[in-house]
């Protein structure tokens, strides 16, 4: 079987030479001061977006922790007190007079 069945193309020696030329080329790099410009643009965008919030409040974990702390501390102890019944009929016993309706 000949190599023509796979279609015409360069022989392996030509491929090896081409790959060798590609390996010898220098790697492409960014333009000078590329990273400085990117950092400056990101800093400007960050200042524009979050100028009204302090830095620690931009992280969701801190906001969630602070919210949970405020909710825990701001309670008035309502959980510890017994609550009044929601309905005046909840303490009704058969045979006694029904309480007057609430207005």
Domain range spanning residue 54? 31-73
- Find out whether 62 and 68 touch, Cβ atoms under 8 Å: no
Determine the Cα–Cα distance for residues 76 and 73; give it in Å rounded to an integer.
Answer: 9
pLDDT for the residue 58: 72
In-domain check, residue 47: yes
pLDDT for the residue 83: 62
In-domain check, residue 102: no
pLDDT for the residue 41: 92
In-domain check, residue 57: yes
pLDDT for the residue 36: 92
In-domain check, residue 7: no
pLDDT for the residue 1: 43
pLDDT for the residue 80: 66
Q: Could you give the C-alpha distances from 93 to 82, 88, 89, 100, in angstroms and in order?
A: 21, 11, 9, 14
Q: pLDDT for 52-66, tens place per residue? A: 767 777 778 888 888
Q: How many domains does the chain have?
A: 1
Q: Compute mean pLDDT per 10 residues along the chain, 103 residues long, and list them.
A: 57 89 85 90 79 73 87 72 62 68 68
Sign of the CA dihedral running 33, 34, 40, 43: negative
In-domain check, residue 91: no
Q: What does pTM read for this prediction?
A: 0.29
- Find out whether 91 and 97 touch, Cβ atoms under 8 Å: no
Query: How far does CA 38 lie from the centroid of its chain?
Result: 22
pLDDT for the residue 37: 92
In-domain check, residue 81: no
């Amino acid at each position: 079987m000949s190599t023509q069945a796979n279609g015409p193309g360069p022989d392996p020696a030509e491929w090896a030479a081409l790959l060798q030329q590609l390996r010898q080329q220098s790697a492409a790099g960014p333009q000078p001061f590329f990273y400085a410009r990117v950092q400056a643009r990101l800093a400007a965008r960050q200042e524009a977006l979050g100028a009204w919030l302090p830095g620690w409040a931009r992280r969701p974990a801190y906001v969630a922790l602070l919210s949970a702390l405020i909710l825990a501390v701001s309670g008035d102890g309502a959980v510890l007190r017994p609550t009044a019944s929601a309905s005046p009929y909840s303490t009704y016993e058969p045979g006694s007079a029904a309480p007057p309706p609430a207005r």
